[in-house]
Structure 1
Amino acid sequence: MVPLHAHSVHVGKRGRLQARRHPDSLRRSHVDLEVIIPAYNEAGRIASTLTQTVDFLAVQPWSSRIVVVDNGSVDETAALVHRISRELGDAVPISVLGCSRRGKGAAVRRGLLSGTSRYTGFFDADLATPLATLTEAMAQLAGGAAAVIASRHAPGSTFVVPQHIGRRMGGTAFRALTKSKVKGIQDTQCGFKFFERDALTAAMVQCRSTGFAFDVELLLRLQDNDASIVELPVAWTDGAESTFRPFQDGVASFASVIQLQKATS
């Protein structure tokens, strides 16, 4: 199989999809899967996250790379990633990308578009979704799915540690808001999503959101392109150290999705 080349994308004057290689991608060897981990001030847990992820990936039948996207952290996140990379060796290489534009969506976008792998995706640094979910995700992608996303609300999913009531109420309202936009998807916001690169690139070229609406718009663009999306029920753990603020971030979430609805209606 000929490796897919890494690129960022734009639309030319005649609407033709064009590609530009990302400088970082030219320094990264080809692997089957690139795992993007967006990180903002994650010095307290990034070492544990990377160690667990490397241990898991190192024994899988596919080759992998971890790409940590440092989203403007003001702590020692990047330095710790470099240190852990040296300590853990080359079985699963770890790269660090900087992203000066604030927002998880911007960080994820930068990571996803910087790679060379046939499959790529992201999960949050808190490992709220079990790493073992990747096994089924890769099986579904190899079987022809364009996207595989974890779901906290699909039949069969469970909460290992219950969500705080504020997040639970906000999540219910948010799902009601997005239900008519992304049809058939129970959970647009779970921080675990993996993709086949060609399908991802075709959807990403149409995306404009970089904030809380990023996940919603990406899934919407995939559906617009008739790409198949598989939703996996998971046993999810609500992290005690989550940086999500129910009121402030909840308001921003609703505002970003309403803006997306206006832009795509």
Structure 2
Amino acid sequence: MDLLRSHGIHTGSRKGLHAQRRGNSLRRSHVDLEVIIPAYNEAARIPGTITQTADFLSGQPWSSRIVVVDNGSVDGTGAVARRLSREAGTAVPISVIGCSRRGKGAAVRRGLLSGTSRFTGFFDADMATPLETLTVAMSHLEEGAAAVIASRHAPGSTLVRPQQLGRRVGGRAFRALTRTKVKGIFDTQCGFKFFERDALTTAMVQCRATGFAFDVELLLRLQHQNARIIELPVSWTDGAASTFRPIHDGFASFASVIQLQSRCHD
């Protein structure tokens, strides 16, 4: 119970979690796929992200919804997204929810656990990974994969616009650390991950990380379930306006990952 409460899920049992999900489903009608977009101070960028995503999804064979999670923004991100949701057509509905607990992991968890679609996942508002990757991801999920993640470092991937030197150096060190935790995965941090609902929920309710180490813990939990994870090499473009702060967030992420091994055996 304490673990669920630490995630902002105030319930006494797993049964309570299912009740919460049923309550959320009353607010969001069922679709095949929900695309979660965590957003912190993205008022300038979110209109283009939503428009491009909706245009792409409207041409796909599966029904879908965009869910923007406003992670305590102070620049009107939520208001901008809600305006777009009111103006949107019915082909791809747009929902906007809030997450007062800071951290990308907290925002992603809020979005993923609040739906009931068979498939769900998230990508960053900077759209660094091509939208077309979602078509390939869905084909793998429909064939039985538990998770499909984009990778900037798997064989066959390319960097259209690389990160700045400081972030590249920090990224190499972080990947060296995560390889000791998440076996066989080249890139745990690419902001594009999609899942089959049941496998995701089982792993997600155990996760405690709320920051940039959230991805590592989620993948590690999935591996402990022997879930099949597909890593897709992509052509990736660095987002110049990333909210990641190399020094502050980097140290916090390293510390969180170092604690994972003992935490995941609790």
What band does the TM-score fall into relative to the shorter chain?
Answer: over 0.9
Instruction: Report the counterpart of residue 5 of structure 2 in structure 1.
Output: none
Contact kept, 8 Å, 2:88 with 2:94, in 1: the verdict is: no
Seen in structure 2, the aligned counterparts of structure 1 residues 99 and 39 have a Cα distance that, compared at 3 Å, is: same
- State the secondary structure of the residue aligned to 1:126: coil
Contact kept, 8 Å, 1:217 with 1:260, in 2: the verdict is: yes
**CA-to-partner distance for each residue in 1:11-35, whole Å, 9 max, x for gaps?**
84xx889622244331111100000
Aligned length: 256
CA distance in 2, matches of 1:161, 1:109: 29
- Structure 2's unaligned 5+ residue stretches are 1-8
CA distance in 1, matches of 2:144, 2:192: 18
CA distance in 2, matches of 1:202, 1:105: 16
Within the alignment, does 1:160 sit opposite 2:157 as a pair?
no
Output the aligned Cα RMSD. Answer: 1.7
**CA-to-partner distance for each residue in 1:212-238, whole Å, 9 max, x for gaps?**
221111001100001000000000000
Amino acid at match of 1:186: F
Contact kept, 8 Å, 1:161 with 1:236, in 2: the verdict is: yes
Seen in structure 2, the aligned counterparts of structure 1 residues 218 and 17 have a Cα distance that, compared at 3 Å, is: farther
Report which stretch shifted further, 237-246 or 39-48. 237-246
Shift of 1:210: 1.3
CA distance in 1, matches of 2:28, 2:263: 36
Instruction: Report the counterpart of residue 238 of structure 1 in structure 2.
Output: 238
Within the alignment, does 1:173 sit opposite 2:173 as a pair?
yes
TM-score when scaled to structure 1?
Answer: 0.92
Written as runs of structure 1 = structure 2, the 5 A alignment for 1:100-139 is 100-139=100-139
Instruction: Report the counterpart of residue 21 of structure 1 in structure 2.
Output: 20
- State the secondary structure of the residue aligned to 1:52: helix
CA distance in 2, matches of 1:9, 1:141: 30
Contact kept, 8 Å, 1:9 with 1:20, in 2: the verdict is: no
- State the secondary structure of the residue aligned to 2:259: helix
Within the alignment, does 1:206 sit opposite 2:206 as a pair?
yes
- State the secondary structure of the residue aligned to 1:160: strand
- State the secondary structure of the residue aligned to 1:53: helix
- State the secondary structure of the residue aligned to 2:190: coil
CA distance in 2, matches of 1:10, 1:79: 30
Shift of 1:247: 1.6
Amino acid at match of 1:176: A
- State the secondary structure of the residue aligned to 2:79: helix
CA distance in 2, matches of 1:155, 1:188: 14
**CA-to-partner distance for each residue in 1:78-105, whole Å, 9 max, x for gaps?**
1111111222322100001100000000
- State the secondary structure of the residue aligned to 2:256: helix
Q: Give structure 1 regions of 4+ aligned residues with deviation exceeding 3 angstroms.
A: 8-12, 15-18
Structure with more of its chain in helix, by fraction: 2
How many percent of aligned residue pairs carry the same amino acid? 75
Shift of 1:10: 6.7
**CA-to-partner distance for each residue in 1:150-171, whole Å, 9 max, x for gaps?**
0000000000001111111011
Report which stretch shifted further, 98-107 or 209-218. 209-218
Report which stretch shifted further, 245-254 or 104-113. 245-254
Contact kept, 8 Å, 1:178 with 1:257, in 2: the verdict is: yes
